Structure 1
Amino acid sequence: MDQPEIGEFILSEQVRVNGRITAATLSSGGELGWGDRRLDVKKQVLGFSVEGSEIKIRAVVEAAAGSWCSGDKTKLIRKCFTLELLSIDSLRLWSQKLQEYLDSLGRPKRLFVFVNPYGGKKSASTIFVSDVKPLLDDASVEYTVQETKYQLHAKEVARSLDLAKYDGIVCVSGDGILVEVLNGLLIREDWENAIKIPLGVVPAGTGNGMVKSLLDSCGEPCAASNATMSIIRGHKRSLDVATISQGDTKFFSMLMLAWGLVADIDIESEKYRWMGSARLDFYGLQRILGLRKYNGSIIFVPASGFESYGEPIDVEKEVIFEGESKPKSDDGPVTTQDYGYQGPKVDMKSLNWRKINGPFVSIWLHNVPWGGEDTMAAPDAQFSDGCLDLIMIKDCPKLSLLMLMNGLNDGSHVKSPHVSYLKVKAFILQPGPRVDDQTKAGIIDVDGEVLARGKGSYKSEEKTLMSYDKLLIKVDQGLATLFAPSLDLADLIPIPRD
């Protein structure tokens, strides 16, 4: 771990450690030390307790090199260190100063914790008990645990939760529960205050793209202990939220939208769920060998530096904005209430819209770098830049596509000449049918769940929130707040909105 700035000593005292007298110090920079041991209080010390003349320091340290994972990404393990003070006055002073320093860090004291026992390998309950709970207890964090019992349960709870009782909401799950919580907060009448509550996530699902992105950005492994520590430390960073709208119907996304190849693999491979994560590779090969292309078009506002993509369009003729037309499915869309967050207020007609016509192999929008623990979909994505990263494939030979998909684990796929990679500030998807069979359409996948199914697609008989039609996507820069593994000053400085 990086060493803290030492600064002046707040405390300096002779103590007994393991039967030996040694000097112990606590500096204004947050370094606690004795003998050969140094602890960064901000990063490593969870809490302490007083037992008789002893202070028990509860902390985390890095596991021995090579004991858990490869490379320089190391798992954290719990440790308890005992300092015996030599007088009652010294014991009182050390207890007081240690508590004052910990209190000054602004760490969360009360958390609401969702545990999804059904996601991924159904291991979330075990992960909470073995990895999360001991760290929260060591840090004296109070918590309320809610196991999710059915789809959208977390959304229902977040919608009505008394947020004044908590300093944050934590999801021990994959990305799905986190997205449910976001949507629950944003449909509240008090959404403007609700969305300010920090959200944390501990990896315990199939797709752990958000927590992987957070931890990897600081060189930490995607492990439950590291994720829990990032929550306990209380550091925060802002996150863009994308509002996907179709008429009056809205969905709030924090991860990704896929249409075409990626969506087909993600959703249709569910039939092979018994294979575990290997189902994606197995079905991905099938889909590449039987490659589909989709008609349609995309309309977008490019970020600065990407204006060369697409062709300029006449906004009045091409773009349908809210209130001017409402696409409808056969059963009609499932609409949300009028109150709650309605999406960012943007003069859409004043923007520099450009258009690209299909056919397309794949359209993939990403808000953060990682789509899963092994999928770096958008290596240049930022948490709060006001943009979505667009990864587009229009045409690609099958062999090249196989090689390209192998590059997803390190982000090298975006360097392929068959991939267009750019940043967009707003986006309109106009999906169409398959090129080879006009009677069959595709799937629109948002944050790992089906947002819309076209006719003849996989499980097309099932109802979805939106119809397989035009979607408008707008980005609200830095709307949500996440617990993060380190304090990123760039995220604390407001970036001017265009």
Structure 2
Amino acid sequence: MAPEEVKVNGVWAEAELEKVAMGGRLRWREKNGKNADRSLNLAREVLGLRREGNKVKIDAILDKEDKVRCGSGVARGGEKALLRKEVVLEAASEPAAEAWREEIQACIDSLGRPKRLFILVNPFGGKREALRIFMNEVKPLLDAAGIYYLMKETQYRLHAQELVTKLDLKSYDGIVCVSGDGLLAEVLNGLLQREDWQEVIKTPLGIIPGGTGNGMSKSLLEDAGEKFSASNATLSIICGNTRKVDVSTLTQGDRKFFSVLMLAWGLIADVDIESEKYRWMGGIRINFYAFLRVFRLRKYQGRVHFVPAPGYESHGEPATTKIEPCEVKTNDSEGTRGYQGPTISFKSSDWRSIEGPFIFLWTHNVPWGSDVTIPAPDAKFSDGYIDVVIVKECAKPTLASLLANVSNGSHVKYPCAMYLKVKALQLEPGQRVNEPEKGGIIDVDGEVLARGSGTYLNGKSTDLMDYGTPIKVTVDQGLATVFAPIAATECKPSF
């Protein structure tokens, strides 16, 4: 669009719409003696717009210093809260204003932003604030962007999985979870259990932090240099940018569970799950129970087999136990319902082993486990590998220090911590050392996958797998798609 003289926020300016690969930029030079150059990045900084007479009113996202935000988060160089501000472009006539509106809207439409979303809110997770977060922080942004949505509150465990299994996904451009990571895992499993999984797994998934563990949301925002917040997570969904993420398949006989985040066994799982009994303490319950578990340290018998990624072949010992070949039927086999896992095969000679006892095993597909812990600092979203942290022997004071440093990722540098990447893994969990009548807990994406005898709520909850029987973990590179922030690499605040 050629430069044109208009008023912007009441000041005469020469404005033009610059069309670029990422949707375009509205630029203007004010004619008030200052000759200030201003601009709006349509992809990152514009929610929506409307015309009223000869005025085009643009809903923009700014920081509290009244500068247009850089990226879909805060302005570079500080963590400033979001501020919405209206930018008013006043043309000479209504037809001229409509031409501006059409051109700007066409640029925004070219970005492929979602128009219809299915939103799941878990009202029971974390501090039970997910519904408030949706109403106060998510809904206003979606309304301003003109996005239609259907919101459902989940009522019980696996409710989201049931809903997604039957959902007509042709009616939506994405599924959004306002919750912790557990709800995202339910949605993923619901999609992959469908007969049409090959199509529906292409549906972008969004995660807005509203639970206890928010590792996926934190990982996505941090990778783009954005402040961790529900508002920034919502903006990344509105912008429609996506990226691929690895999906792990956990197999035990005919049972399967699909994960995009983590698996924990030993100390980490004990703290995560057993600290639920202290939920009345709030967030401090994790630190309190971690201290208690270090003081009363448990160790677990068991064995871990793995196929190392290139560069990690020196870890462990050659497997002496025969490992069943990691083979999966092709996913288009007749009679097969749902995704069966990656079609790969490893020879027995590919496997290496580590014998127990163990203090903990912790695997991750993404760097962050919550907004304050980064268990796998080298993890990538779509590299086809699982990052693994193993601690076998560690003095209690050193272990306490190691756990304290999970907040900055330096725990992996401790001599007692083994950090490696693997292509596949098999866990054979055993009983507690000196307490052979008691087992442990296996925690996947914040939910209990299996628990042994003598553990918290054992016998009072139905788990997906059995404790003690080997569980094999394989990874399918980039199988799922998630909404992700646009990295702020070329954005220059100018307003």
| TM-score above 0.5, yes or no | yes
Structure 1 residue 318, shift from structure 2 partner = 2.1
Q: 1:28 is matched with which residue?
A: 19
Change (3 A) 1:69 1:395: farther
Moved more, 348-357 or 247-256: 348-357
The amino acid across from 1:192 in the alignment is: Q
Q: Which residue of 1 aligns with 2:41?
A: 40
Shift of 1:133: 1.1
- Report the equivalent of 1:215: 221
Once residues 294 and 115 of structure 2 are traced to their aligned partners in structure 1, the CA distance between those partners, rounded to angstroms, is 49
Cα shift at 1:487:
6.5
Contact 1:235 1:487 in 2 (8 A): no
Correspondence list, 1:72-91, <5 A: 72-91=78-97
Structure 1 residue 195: Cα displacement = 0.5
Q: For residues 408 and 71 of structure 1, do their structure 2 counterparts lie closer, same or farther at Cα, with a shift above 3 Å needed?
A: farther
Uncovered stretches (5+) of structure 2, i.e. residues with no partner: 31-37, 67-73, 329-334, 490-495
- For residues 458-483 of structure 1, the C-alpha deviation after alignment (integer angstroms, 9 at most, x for no partner) is 22213311111210000000000000
Q: Secondary structure at the match of 1:108?
A: coil
Q: Distance in 1 between matches of 2:348 and 2:429?
A: 24
**Secondary structure, in 3 states, of the residue corresponding to 1:392?**
strand
Deviation at 1:457, TM superposition (A): 1.6
Between stretches 10-19 and 440-449, larger displacement belongs to 10-19
- The aligned residue for residue 433 of structure 1 is 431
Identical residues among aligned pairs (%): 53
Report the counterpart of residue 270 of structure 1 in structure 2: 276
Paired with 2:75 and 2:98, the residues of 1 have a C-alpha distance of: 41
Contact (CA 8 Å) 2:325, 2:345: kept in 1 or not?
no
Is the partner of 2:415 in helix, strand or coil?
coil
Give the conservation status (yes or no) of the 8 Å contact 1:191–1:341: yes
Say whether residues 1:420 and 2:408 are aligned partners. Answer: no
Q: Does the 8 Å contact 1:247/1:323 carry over to 2? A: no
Q: How does 1:73-152 map to 2 (within 5 A)?
A: 73-152=79-158
In structure 2, the CA distance between the partners of 1:13 and 1:311, relative to structure 1 (3 Å rule), is same
Instruction: Name the stretch that deviates more: 75-84 or 281-290.
Output: 75-84
For residue 56 of structure 2, what is the aligned residue in structure 1?
Answer: 55
Matches of 2:395 and 2:412, distance apart in 1: 16
Match of 2:351 in 1: 353
Find the aligned partners of 1:94 and 1:69 in 2 and give their Cα distance: 27
Question: Aligned with 2:3: secondary structure?
Answer: strand
Residue identity opposite 2:301 in structure 1:
N
The secondary structure found in structure 1 opposite 2:86 is strand
| Residue 467 of structure 2 is aligned to residue 476 of structure 1 | no
Deviates further, 473-482 or 87-96 = 87-96
| 1:328 aligned partner | none
Q: What is the letter of the counterpart of residue 103 of structure 2?
A: K
The amino acid that maps onto 1:412 is S
Q: CA deviation at 1:130?
A: 1.3
The secondary structure found in structure 2 opposite 1:288 is helix
Aligned residue identity for 2:108:
L
Matching residue within 250, 256, 278 for 2:256: 250
Q: Which amino acid aligns with 1:47?
A: G
Amino acid paired to 2:476: D
Task: Say which SS state the counterpart of residue 370 (structure 1) adopts.
Answer: coil
- The alignment partner of 1:348 has SS state of coil
Task: Tell me the amino acid that sits aligned with residue 458 of structure 2.
Answer: S
Separation in structure 2 between the aligned mates of residue 166 and residue 279 of structure 1, nearest angstrom: 39
Assess, with a 3 A threshold, how the Cα gap between structure 1 residues 408 and 323 changes in structure 2: closer, same or farther: closer
Partners of 1:376 and 1:195 in 2: how far apart?
27
Secondary structure of the residue aligned to 2:376 is: coil
Displacement of 1:349? 2.6
Q: For 1:64 and 1:24, locate their aligned partners in 2 and report how far apart those are by CA, in whole Å.
A: 23
Report the AA paired with residue 482 of structure 1.
Answer: V
1:11/1:277 CA distance change after superposition, 3 Å: farther
Task: Name the SS of the counterpart of 2:232 in structure 1.
Answer: helix
Cα offset for 1:69? 11
Aligned to 2:464: 465
Structure 2 residue 321 is the aligned partner of structure 1 residue 320: no
Q: Mark the CA change 1:152 to 1:69 in structure 2 (over 3 Å): closer, same or farther.
A: farther
* TM-score, normalization by structure 2: 0.90
Residues 367-401 of structure 1, C-alpha deviation per residue, up to 9 Å, x if partnerless?
10000111111000000000110000010000001
Structure 1 match to 2:365? 367
Structure 2 equivalent of residue 406 of structure 1: 404
The DSSP-based 3-state class of the residue aligned with 2:40 is strand
Distance in 1 (CA, whole Å) between partners of 2:394 and 2:290 is 15
- What corresponds to 2:492 in structure 1? none
Distance across 2 between alignment mates of 1:158 and 1:433: 36
**Aligned length in residues:** 465
Aligned to 2:35: none
In structure 2, do the counterparts of structure 1 residues 356 and 205 end up closer, same or farther at CA, with 3 Å as the change threshold?
A: same
Q: Give 1:127 deviation, angstroms.
A: 1.1
Deviations along 1:408-432, one digit per CA (max 9) or x if unpaired, are: 1110100111100000110000111
Give 1:71 deviation, angstroms: 6.7
Deviation readout 1:271-325 (Å, 9 max, x if unpaired): 00111111000000000001111111100000000000011125xx52135799x
What is aligned with 1:389?
387
What is the alpha-carbon root mean square deviation over aligned residues? 2.2
Cα distance in 2 for partners of 1:474, 1:18 equals 56
TM-score normalised according to structure 1 size: 0.90
Q: Which amino acid in the other structure matches residue 75 of structure 1? A: A
1:244–1:472 contact (8 Å) kept in structure 2: yes
Which amino acid in 1 is paired with 2:485?
P
Cα deviation for residue 72 of structure 1 reads 2.6
State the partner residue of 2:3: 12
Of 76-85 and 360-369, deviating more is 76-85
For residue 57 of structure 1, give the secondary structure of its aligned residue in structure 2: strand
